[in-house]
Amino acid sequence: MRAGGLPDTNQVSTEPLSDKVLVTPLDRASLYAPTRAKALFRKIEPYLYLLPALLLVGGLLLYSVAHTLAISFTDWDLITPPRFVGLQNYIDAIRDPTFTRSFSNTLVWTGGSLLLPVGGGLLLAVILERIPGQRVLKTLIYLPAILSTTVVAAIWSYVYTNNGVLNETLRWVGLDALARPWLVWAPTNTLAMIVAASWRALGPSMVLFLVGLQTIPPELIEAAKIDGAGERLLFWRIKLPLLRPITAIVVIMSVIGSFMTFDLVWVMTQGGPGRSSETLAVTMYRQAFIMWRMGYAGAVAVILSAIVIVFSISYLRATLKRSTL
Amino acid sequence: MIEKWAIRQRALDRYLALALLCLFAIAWVTPLAIVALSSMKTPREQSQSGILALPENAAMILDNIASASELSGIGNGILSSLIYAFVGSVTAVIAASSAAYSIAMLKIRFPFFWFLIIYSGTIFPFQMYLMPLFGLYQTVGLYDTRFGMLLFYSAITVPFCIFVFRNYFIGMQGEVIEAASLDGASSFQTYLRIVLPMAKAPALFLFVTQFSWIWNDFLFGQVLAKSDDVRPVMTSLAMLSGTYGKGSIPQQMAGALTASIPTLILFFALQKHFMQGIILNTAGE
Amino acid sequence: MNGNKNALLPRLMALLLIPALLLGGSIAAQDDPVVIDWANDAAWHEAGQDAVSEASLGATGIGVNTVIFSSTDSYQAAVRGALPTDDAFPLFDWWFGYRMKDLVDAGLLADVTDIWQKHIDNGGYPASMMGSFGFDGRAYGLPKMINYWVVFYNKHVFAEHSLEVPTSWDGLMAVAETLKSNGVTPFGLDVVGCRWCSFIWFEEMMVRVDPALYQSVMTGETAYNDPQVIAIMEQWRDLLDAGYFSQPGDFADNWAEPFVNGSIGMFLIGDWYTASLARAGFVAGEDYGIFVMPGITEAGNRSLIIEGRPLLLAENSPQRDVALEFADYFMSVEAQTIWAETSDINSPNLLAPEETRPGHLVDLANAVANGEYELYTRYWEATPPQIVEQVVDLLGQFVIDPASLQTTMDGAEQIAQDYWASAGGE
């Protein structure tokens, strides 16, 4: 990788003969060194573009991942030296009955986020595309995205209390039967929190889809219309396939986001009551910062990441066939 | 006859859809009204009136903002956070776009591997970065420095950016290579003069979203720094809330509103560039 | 490998700095004020700590710089993470009892027995108090705050329904019944927004019936599913079934609100709730009062739950000695008066002037000083955190589903047994 490396003698023979003929060895050094350096530079230049990102991500984030991976094989409470325990943390994690519940809650979060912010965002984008006043509506829908999770959680706590905004509205409309304690019982509490999270996440995914829709060549739509395609056909046959690169981004980010779901749950229910709304990321956090079992938490984090990376790779391979996979 | 009816019906449908959308939009912003209304009340009023009741004196918001910023010492954090959010997201956008350029358009070996390496920064739960980074920062002397915070914020925002840029560039490939070879430009010139300007829209979109992310972070700001002039704005603001906090609910809400102003301004200022300007890669397949 | 390489630079710099420090230090030590960090997770303590710092600068030349963490979890993480190193916060707030045990066992806390001894001899602190701040006769923490767990009652609500402060358990039940029949929730209890709050009534019912039993459950001698414990839990369950408690999900994350607006009449909580109420504009004596919950049995009449917030000193901090000097000053009447007055709390120093303390807390403190109550450590700190953190989740489940009493206590016993078995083995 060294840019100013020693001249490689083997390289000489591969150079075109005509270049060699006219110069003395002494000249050669002065004439060719820069060229060879240039050739070398040309070879490594593409990698130089990777360098800043690699240094930042590798030096801070991947360092931490490696550290956590190492810790996941130990018992560590932050104040006494880590003790090697092999795979014990992984075994404990998978055997723990709450792990199964966290896992299924996490899957509910994933499904919910695919339905609401992703599906809902797509639907809104398609509707808003052809409606007057879309600018205002788009902006309104995007607004919650600028708030921090803590504020979102605080707001929705007021919406969901027994005499909160939601239940009062339901009673006012006459839908008393639907009014209930939203954050108390599983699975209602998880679903309620998914709605709160989607409130914040819908705007950005809608914007991404809108952007994607605008790039679909109008000729294509016109041609399809002339062929007699209805709105529905147009959507499934033309728009959706052409939106694929955008969909890939939104889907992957949303899946990752739901696997990492933590802040909102931690503020609203802390995974309770009785651990009923815990997600995998909450389990991990709880083990790390409540129980001080950094190794156990590390193991959960590693399992979590493994799931996400397997999903990402297979999803990317399936959707983006003709790219530099 | 039937055609006319169909047209009228379609127009009706449209108005109905519009009405439904408006209703939806009102429901959508109601939770925001909670923040706005609460921030205009006195603490006692907040407790004793309904959550959506109108405030007795809307000017109370000024008092609340003043006391919120005084109690939390928010002033110190604003400058730091502006630096972190601006420099951090710009750094991330540059680092990610150049890496994505290399991965998508230049001849490197194992492009997908390099992509995965950088992208893998997003697949790890953020909370797990806390302790390793805390240890690392203390050892190398980055703990409680603005530079350290900046490095972290740049690093944490790179992976998402690279994902968006890569997908975008893969679609652009053909056009760029064509344009560049006509010019006889070097790869750096291609990046600077052709790729970046063409990627203006996703770059701005990423700048806005990553700016917001950094601006809204309070956890890392709290653990990786301890002094008032290094800690970001949200860490200061968080002192108002919670059982052990200093502030009342109206003060917290007023603080939250005030703190969203920069991201709001940024969104409105740049919105039209990225909402209309992105010519996206539909050729990604 | 990474770590070693990284550590080199700061070490080299430190080496270069040593001569400079030796030269400068000897001169500076006398005149220049030293300012050391004091970390805590309670933002509302900042003003009080700043005021003490100012006074201390004048008296001892040592000031403190308050570092606030607004998230309790990451506060603990940062403190624990740094404690074994010389970057440890020299002064920091913690939790007493079992919550400081692992730090003591790991040798990370400075021994402050001498400071205690000096101030006990002065008559500032009762000798009995030191025991809660350490183990085996040594003290490792100083009392920054002492809080008692009492019932807060809304005076307007009580007046409206012509109620008096109850002096017996039956009286309390009569008050609850009156409130309930008038549409006011008698007791507030939040187990949705507050994970740990589920232990409040568990410990209170236990000490109101049989305080000795409570202590033996804490030490693992009596099982959580012991028939006697179950019987007490059944009494609590009856109160839940009678509708004397707020419904799960009644509160947003703000506890002051339902109390201030009168939708609940009473709130059993630590007396630090005073500060939360003050922030909501509620005035002690005028808007609300406090009383100690009457006992269910004679033995339970004299019980009082105590919570201590200790100030700890890091053994590994290079500023340990300076911190010790400051800690000594902090215990003094002068510092305590300033600290309590600015923070609106009751100083544990018996010599602190009465007029500087919040009136409604003074009577209680005096009653405690006169030996009218037996103090029992709060559940949170009375038994190992590994047990507490899991049992509070089970108790939370019990509050929303009182029928699950037996499974709750069986589960709690399982957790306790697992812990005591492994702790005994080590």
B168-221 confidence digits (pLDDT tens): 887 776 777 777 777 777 888 888 888 888 888 889 888 988 999 999 998 899
- The burial class, CB within 10 Å (0-12 / 13-18 / 19+), for A16 is exposed
Whether A184 sits inside 8 A of C394 (CB atoms) is no
User: Looking at residues A113-133, what average pLDDT do you find?
Assistant: 86
Stated as kind and residue range, the H or E segment containing C311 is strand C303-313
Among the partner-chain residues C6, C42, C260, the one whose CB lies closest to the CB of B244 is C42
pLDDT band at A280; cut points 50, 70, 90: very high
Whether C74 sits inside 8 A of B247 (CB atoms) is no
Stated as kind and residue range, the H or E segment containing C130 is helix C127-130
Pairing of strands C141-154, C288-291: antiparallel
CA nearest neighbour of B249 among C195, C272, C258: C258
Which residues pair with residue C153 across a beta bridge? Answer: C266, C289
| Greater model confidence, C32 or A263 | A263
Residues 6+ apart with CB under 8 A from A263: A149, A150, A153
User: Looking at residues C143-167, what average pLDDT do you find?
Assistant: 95
Pairing of strands C134-135, C138-139: antiparallel
Which residues pair with residue C135 across a beta bridge? Answer: C138
User: Looking at residues A156-181, what average pLDDT do you find?
Assistant: 88
* Helices (H), ranges, C32-93: 46-60, 72-82
Strands (E), chain B: none
- The amino acid sitting at C144 is K
* Cis preceding linkage at A117, omega within 30: no
Could you tell me the maximum CA-CA distance found in chain B, to the nearest angstrom? 82
Q: What is the C-alpha separation between C292 and C305, in angstroms, rounded?
A: 10
Q: Which two tokens stand for residue A117?
A: 């912010």
Tell me the percentage of chain C whose pLDDT exceeds 90.
Answer: 66
Task: Classify the C-alpha dihedral A292-A298-A300-A304 as positive or negative.
Answer: positive
For residue C369, the distance in angstroms to the closest alpha carbon of chain B comes to 27
- Decide if C1 touches B, using CB distance below 8 A: no
Chain A residues 50-79 within an 8 A CB cutoff of chain C: 63, 77-79
Residue C7 has pLDDT above 60, yes or no: no
The answer to whether residues B71 and B247 touch, using CB atoms and an 8 Å cutoff, is yes
For C262, other C-beta atoms within 10 Å of its C-beta total 16
Stated as kind and residue range, the H or E segment containing C270 is strand C264-270
CA C196 to chain centre: 13
Residue C426 has pLDDT above 70, yes or no: no
Average pLDDT, chain C: 88
User: Looking at residues A110-135, what average pLDDT do you find?
Assistant: 86
Helices (H) and strands (E) in chain B — how many of each?
A: 13, 0
The answer to whether residues B247 and C76 touch, using CB atoms and an 8 Å cutoff, is no
Residues 6+ apart with CB under 8 A from C303: C207, C208, C211, C295, C373, C374, C376
Residue C16 has pLDDT above 50, yes or no: no
Whether B234 sits inside 8 A of A148 (CB atoms) is yes
- The amino acid sitting at C347 is S
| pLDDT tens digits, one per residue of B25-53 | 888 888 888 888 989 988 888 877 777 78
Q: What's the pLDDT at A217?
A: 79
CA nearest neighbour of A192 among A183, A205, A202: A183
Residues 6+ apart with CB under 8 A from A201: A113, A116, A117, A145, A254, A257
User: Looking at residues C350-355, what average pLDDT do you find?
Assistant: 82
Of A18-32, A129-143, C31-45, the one with minimum mean pLDDT is A18-32
SS3 C39: strand
Q: What is the ipTM of this complex?
A: 0.85
> Best interface-test mutation with C: which of A92, A289, A291, A294 has the largest number of C CBs within 10 A?
A289
Tabulate helix, strand, coil % of chain B (nearest 5). 80, 0, 20
For residue C108, the distance in angstroms to the closest alpha carbon of chain A comes to 8
| Greater model confidence, B3 or A187 | A187
Contact list, A181 vs chain C (CB under 8 Å): 192, 247-249
Whether C281 sits inside 8 A of B43 (CB atoms) is yes
Contact list, C39 vs chain B (CB under 8 Å): 226
Pairing of strands C91-93, C34-40: parallel
Q: Which two tokens stand for residue C280?
A: 């909501």
Go through the domains of chain A in sequence order and give each one's CATH number: 22-71 (no CATH), 83-324 (1.10.3720.10)
| pLDDT tens digits, one per residue of C25-35 | 444 444 578 99
- Per the document, the length of chain A is 325
For residue C345, the distance in angstroms to the closest alpha carbon of chain B comes to 14
Residue A19 has pLDDT above 70, yes or no: no
Residue C163 has pLDDT above 90, yes or no: yes
The answer to whether residues B144 and B224 touch, using CB atoms and an 8 Å cutoff, is yes
Phi-psi group of C313: left, alpha or beta (phi > 0 → left; psi -120 to 50 → alpha; rest → beta): beta
Q: What is the C-alpha separation between C409 and A67, in angstroms, rounded?
A: 39
Contact list, C256 vs chain B (CB under 8 Å): 47
CA B249 to chain centre: 25
| Greater model confidence, B21 or A49 | A49
* Cis preceding linkage at B31, omega within 30: no
The secondary structure of residue A146, as a DSSP letter, is: G
Q: What is the pLDDT along chain B (285 residues), one digit of tens a residue?
A: 566 777 777 777 778 877 888 888 888 888 888 888 989 988 888 877 777 788 888 888 889 888 888 888 888 889 999 999 999 999 999 999 999 999 988 888 888 899 989 988 888 888 889 899 999 999 999 999 999 999 999 999 999 999 888 888 877 767 777 777 777 778 888 888 888 888 888 898 889 889 999 999 988 998 999 998 899 998 888 888 776 777 888 888 888 888 888 988 988 888 777 665 444 443 333
Task: Classify the C-alpha dihedral C176-C179-C180-C186 as positive or negative.
Answer: negative
For B213, other C-beta atoms within 10 Å of its C-beta total 19
For A53, other C-beta atoms within 10 Å of its C-beta total 31
The answer to whether residues B227 and C55 touch, using CB atoms and an 8 Å cutoff, is no
Whether C81 sits inside 8 A of B135 (CB atoms) is yes
Q: What's the pLDDT at C155?
A: 96
Q: What's the pLDDT at B69?
A: 85
Q: Which residue of B has its CA nearest to C263?
A: B48
Q: Kindly list the partner chains of chain A, i.e. chains with 3 or more CB atom pairs below 8 Å.
A: B, C
Residue A132 has pLDDT above 60, yes or no: yes
Q: Match 């909670």 to its residue by tokens.
A: B34
Q: Which two tokens stand for residue B104?
A: 């998508």
Count Cβ–Cβ pairs < 8 Å, chain B vs chain C. Answer: 96
